[in-house]
A and B are shown apart, each in its own frame.
Chain A
């Protein structure tokens, strides 16, 4: 590798991030090798890596990832289908928003997992309970971001369209919707990460659910292999990262104007 190419890699964000990981990994490995911590109490990073690689060939684990992602996808679809229209409505009707704001502020901080027994009583089905719980946790960031997006729509942007003879519905479709969309999308990205975390947590706590959380619980009570538990955590972290990266990338492509505007206003006089 030439020196300029090396510098480009070492100065890039990803390059620095990777360096941090390698250093942490190496330090942990050295500490364990040096006998400071007994390998029986904590597995070697190389052992964890081996377990993580082994999980890819573990049919039960792969199936559990599929189960979790299926619940995640269903919950995200329901979340968007509910939160975006409701957010648009609340953002437009300020009276309704003011009436519902205290209720939202009260419901929002509930730890969703606490609601599992209650929802299970109502829904009577484990998988559907999990979906409901995940939707409950994921709905708030989408709802709140959409409301703020609609309320932030520029008055002059609306008035311009009104002056060309457009009615309120056309203005909502042609101005309010597109200018609120990037904010709603940010809400969806945040909700995507929350939904995954809550899905795994629900599976871990709830009985009779499938997915990554249930797989972890079974490993803990079964083999008690710490390396596998850490490997599952590593894979979960990577999936969470991937979800965020996919949404962030989609935002950058779909709302190029939004990011261009955010950066260009700093340069303009």
Chain B
């Protein structure tokens, strides 16, 4: 689905990422973790088509990425800068739909697999009704009004799905940080992306909110099967959220290892993290990130995770 081949990006003489190759399957949630300055964000921006690679290529559904691909959504860490303060919450969420309609892509054919979600089904029905009405109305202005109503309906459904149903007409700066990042997630969902890129999306909120947002992401991902690439510096998060963890080396970033996460779904902040398997994966990823070799002897049967944090 997403295929990255020998991707290299330099800024002047500084090599940010070098020879990164990886593949992401349809519907998979892959987390990318690495030490700070390993070029995680550079990698994401190359995949998004926001930054041309120095060499190598990114192929999305068989098409090489040379510009920002259609039906891509990006969630950045800094919600206060990526949400627009002069637009209401609903208008922020509806904004990407404006680009989608302008691209002239057939919104009717975009549904596909997603109709399993009842919210999406209702939304599709309401949009069909709205677009049928639009056909019967000849006047361009009336069509514009109904298109706006359709966009708003999609935005409201997306807000509902992230638990912000009642906040459509507030402004982003009237909401807490966690709620603002929910708005950003709703905005990403509203354009029904085939690929969702998240650049340290939960890095700026407190620990409790971070856990809530991780669970929100996992729930939405389980419902809609959006192929997702999540960049994080948090090892716990990479293991907890990912179907697979890709560990990058310190700059220039290269792929050090890939770790398959076979924790059962649905995951739970308490019971999943209680599992011995979680502790083992967490330790493995932690060692890979730090570049410390695995101990010669097998780890003790019961291994409190704190030990690994204190290791040099």
Contact = CB atoms under 8 A, between A and B. Distances in A.
A163 B85 contact: no
B141 to A, nearest CB: 20
A156 B78 contact: yes
A133 B68 CA distance: 49
B86 A178 contact: yes
29 contacts: A156-B76, A156-B78, A157-B82, A157-B84, A160-B74, A160-B82, A161-B95, A162-B68, A163-B48, A163-B72, A163-B73, A164-B68, A164-B74, A164-B96, A165-B68, A165-B99, A165-B103, A170-B102, A174-B84, A174-B95, A178-B86, A179-B84, A179-B86, A255-B86, A257-B85, A257-B86, A260-B85, A260-B173, A260-B174
B100 interface: yes
A166 interface: yes
B50 interface: yes
Contacts of A157: 81-82, 84
Interface in B158-202: 171, 173-174, 177, 191, 197
Given A164-B95, A260-B174, 9 more contacts: A154-B81, A156-B82, A159-B50, A160-B82, A163-B73, A165-B70, A257-B86, A257-B171, A264-B173
B191 A164 contact: yes
B42 to A, nearest CB: 13
A175 B84 contact: yes
A157 to B, nearest CB: 6
Nearest to A254: B86
A21 interface: no
A122 interface: no
A114 to B, nearest CB: 41
Contact of A260 (B48, B73, B102, B171): B171
A1 B191 CA distance: 60
Contacts of A160: 74, 76, 82
Contact of B99 (A166, A179, A257): A166
Contacts of B191: 164
Interface of A: 154, 156-157, 159-166, 170, 174-175, 178-179, 255, 257-258, 260-261, 264, 268
Nearest to B100: A165
Interface in B70-128: 70, 72-74, 76, 78, 81-82, 84-86, 95-96, 99-100, 102-103
Given A160-B76, A260-B171, A170 B99 contact: yes
Contacts of A164: 68, 72-74, 95-96, 99, 191
B121 to A, nearest CB: 24
A268 B178 CA distance: 13
Nearest to A154: B81
A1 to B, nearest CB: 36
B74 A163 contact: yes
A163 B68 contact: yes
Interface string B148-166: 0000000000000000000
Contacts of A268: 177
Contact of B96 (A154, A165, A260): A165
B76 A257 contact: no
A255 B191 CA distance: 28
A258 B85 contact: yes
A162 B50 contact: yes
Contacts of A174: 84, 95
A20 to B, nearest CB: 35
B84 A261 contact: no
Contacts of B48: 163
Contacts of B78: 156
Contacts of A161: 95, 99
A156 to B, nearest CB: 4
Contact of A261 (B76, B99, B173, B177): B173
A157 B85 CA distance: 10
- What 10 A-B pairs are tightest by C-beta distance, nearest first? A164-B96, A163-B74, A257-B85, A160-B82, A156-B81, A165-B99, A178-B86, A166-B99, A154-B81, A257-B86
Contacts of B103: 165
Contacts of B197: 163
Nearest to A265: B80
A165 B72 contact: yes
Nearest to A177: B86
Which of A159, A174, A260: most chain B Cβ within 10 A? Answer: A159
Nearest to B176: A268
Interface in B196-248: 197
